[in-house]
Amino acid sequence: MSQNHARTSRTNDLASRIDAGFRTAIAAALSDYASVNSAPIDPLIKAAANPKFGDFQANFAMSLAKSLGKNPREVAQQVVDAAPPSLRDLCEPFEIAGPGFVNIRLRPESIANALTAMDSATLGVSNDNKTHTVAVDLCGVNVAKQMHVGHLRATIIGDTIARLFERLGWNVHRQNHLGDWGLPIAMTLAALRRAKVDIARVTLDDLNRAYRRAQAEGRDDEAGLAAAHATAVGPHRIAELEAQHEGAAAALADAHDTLRRLQSGDAAVVADWQKLIDVTMHEVYETAQLLGVDLKPEHNRGESFFRDRLTPTVDAFVAANLAVRDAGALVVRFEGRERPLLIQKSDGTSLYATTDLAAARYRIQDLGSELVVYCVDARQRDHFNDVFDAVALIGWTKRADGREASLVHVPFGAVLGSDKRPLKTRSGENFTLKALLDEAIARGRREVHARAASPDAPTAALSPAELDAIGQAVGIAAIKYADLSSDVSRDYVFDLDRMVSFEGDTGPYAQYAHARIAGILAKASAQGAAAGALVIATPQERSLALNLLRYPGAIEDAASQLAPNRIAAFIFELANTFNAFYQACPVLRGADESTRASRLHLCDLTRRVLADALSIMAITAPSRM
């Protein structure tokens, strides 16, 4: 995904300051060449692949030398000689290597100063972006159906993207696009009413069964009946098919009558319909709370919310000469694309696309979003391409202030079982999300209780209830981190044994790193030791400090690319870097007081950054594990 949202200027970021310094140096050293180039020359600063060569590398010389007809090392030397004092004060003397690379090593005091500047409530993250607005389409459950593993992805990917933008200070509108209107819901409601079910006492399991029963009862086999008559299969089979045909016709007629009464505002039908929504959403909210996801009733923008906007939506396309009749239906055609977008059936009813068009208009025109993000599975890719193109054709991407809004689909892959097929139960049914989370929590609790059995464990003195709470946090972290740490567009294999491991690239490993640091800080506090001025002396201290300084950029990059896995990658690298620091650099047994104080400062900042990064994924950061 190559989006470019959420970019801000990071004046305290060392890479940005190096970039700015080299741009100044290039402009000064190559003034004649720079004067005829309207765009500033990019110094091509990147992190060094090998720390022994420095912290960063500038790769501008080769491309510039070719344009100037000069030797790359000569060009590099000219630029280095023109480096402004601000750049020289920041870095050790530059080294020109190979065909003209400039190796850049930061002065230890520059790193310490930048880290001290980052040590604030915001952790160096720019969060003054209230002029920006984003809408995030997430969750998207269907009423009367239980949540399954696909809803896990739509919910936690969307929530993490929303949290990324919230962390940057954007106005964020979560949009839960419920499937709560139309014939499928009317079929379920009609089936419940025919069965004389007490809807005031109905459960989600009842609704799930009624939904399936309604689908089966409304399934006609008219073609099979015609074939049976033509082939004279026998009176019993024909009678059976005729009964099915008559039953399906009656069920559909009842469903259509229920839908008509619902749409006309029949008080009894509306009350029953609302009960279906309440029962469904009760479990959704419970699940969201368990996952740490911010999902509340005020975020619901279901199909029913847009029902009065559907006719105006279709009328707008007709008035703009963008919708044409095709066999009685209304479609929007696109140049160079055989596939049209159907926005109204021949009987005058609307479709999912009609609702999505109305929703896009609402999110841009009413909410003022400059970015609308849809977290929906990859199978809907063509659908959203068509919807987005239709929105652009009619001009609804232009906001009230004249600026263009962007519509972006974040397509996610499937959750696979060990057989590399979509995850199913042994009976072949889709796993309910609740069953999946219950299993993860049980596994997390077993792991935590087993570790606490050791007398030396930090959790040995905790009560069973406290251990259960930590185990629940571990189980949820295992599921969420495994999902969010992969490229969301790809399928991934659900392996709970690997996910709950306290080693490797897992949620519990990141949580354990945080708990270890919290333990160090607690011991330091008990001993009366305190954090002090930062001194960057060892390679491990340097590596940890530079990783911490990457945090603001990691958030911006993850938001810009709509890629939660970039935050997960940052967390894993920071946890690894801290563990290397911890092994090589004694904290409480530091050589002297200033070393102890500096390392405690590094520990404290690392703990806060880890906790903050985990909070973007809505993962708990326990103090003991």
pLDDT in tens, 409-440: 999 999 998 888 888 766 667 788 998 999 99
Q: For residues 510 and 610, state if they share a domain.
A: yes
Whether 220 and 248 have beta carbons less than 8 Å apart is answered as: yes
Residue 45, classed as helix, strand or coil, is: strand
Determine the Cα–Cα distance for residues 529 and 313; give it in Å rounded to an integer: 66
DSSP, collapsed to helix, strand or coil, labels residue 135 as strand
Please check whether residue 154 is in contact with residue 293, taking contact to mean a CB–CB distance below 8 angstroms: no
Say yes or no to pLDDT of 91 above 50: yes
**Quick check: is 223 in a domain?**
yes
For residue 127, being part of any structural domain is answered with no
CA-nearest of 564, 551, 554, 567 to 606 is 551
Flag whether pLDDT at 567 surpasses 60: yes
How far does the chain reach from its first CA to its final CA, in angstroms? 36
pLDDT for the residue 6: 56
pLDDT of 33-66, one tens digit each?
765 566 678 999 999 988 889 999 999 999 898 8
| H/E run at residue 79 | helix 72-81
Same domain for 450 and 363: no
In a domain, 277, yes or no: no
Residue pair 115/156 in contact (Cβ under 8 Å)? The answer is no
Domain boundary among 87, 106, 125: 106
Does some domain include residue 316?
yes
| CB 571, CB 510: distance < 8 Å | yes
Q: Are residues 453 and 555 in the same domain?
A: yes
In a domain, 511, yes or no: yes
- pTM (two decimals): 0.90
CATH number of the domain bearing residue 308: 3.40.50.620
Both 300 and 410 in one domain: the answer is yes
Q: State the Cα angle at 606 between 602 and 611, rounded to 5°.
A: 155
Q: In this predicted structure, what is the pLDDT of residue 90?
A: 97
Residue with tokens 């392996």: 495
> What are the residue ranges of helices labelled H in 457-536?
464-484, 496-499, 507-526
Position 271 in a domain: no
Which of 264, 284, 318 is the last residue before a domain boundary?
Answer: 264
State mean pLDDT over 564-570. Answer: 98
What pLDDT is stored for residue 361 in this prediction?
Answer: 98
Q: How many helices (H) and strands (E) does the chain have?
A: 23, 13
* 3 occurs within a structural domain: no
319 and 242 both lie in a single domain? no
Domain containing 232 equals 183-264
Query: In terms of C-beta density within 10 A (0-12 exposed, 13-18 middle, 19 or more buried), how is residue 363 classed?
Result: buried
Report whether pLDDT(245) > 50.
no
For residues 496 and 606, state if they share a domain: yes
Answer yes or no: do 343 and 448 share one domain: no
Percentage of the chain beyond pLDDT 90 is: 77
Query: Is 2 part of any domain?
Result: no
Give the separation between CA 280 and CA 208, rounded to whole angstroms: 10
591: how many CB neighbours lie within 10 A of its CB? 10
Q: Are residues 385 and 460 in the same domain?
A: no
Place of tokens 């995030």: 136
Distance between CA atoms of 334 and 314, rounded to whole angstroms? 16
- What CATH number is associated with residue 498? 1.10.730.10
Residue 196 has, within 13 A of its CA and on its CB side, a CA count of: 0
pLDDT at 244 over 70: no
Q: Which range, of 241-255, 399-413, 502-516, averages the lowest pLDDT?
A: 241-255
The CA radius of gyration of the chain, in Å to the nearest whole number, is 30
Domain shared by 144 and 237, yes or no:
no
Residue 7: what pLDDT? Answer: 52
| Side-chain half-sphere CA neighbours of 128 within 13 A | 3
C-alpha 57/C-alpha 281 separation (Å) is 53
220 and 251 in a single domain? The answer is yes
Tell me: do 56 and 139 sit in the same domain: no
Describe the chain by its helix, strand, coil percentages, rounded to 5.
55, 10, 30
Q: How far is it, in rounded angstroms, from Cα 41 to Cα 20?
A: 11
Answer with the one of 106, 122, 145 that is the final residue of a domain.
106
From 480, 535, 472, select the one nearest 507 (Cα to Cα): 480
Over residues 209-237, the pLDDT tens digits come to 888 888 787 665 455 535 545 565 555 54
pLDDT at 121: 95
CATH code, domain carrying 21: 3.30.1360.70
Query: Does residue 401 share a domain with residue 313?
Result: yes
Rounded distance between C-alpha atoms, residue 549 and residue 573, angstroms: 13
Arithmetic mean of pLDDT over the chain: 91
Q: Please tell me the total count of domains within the chain.
A: 4
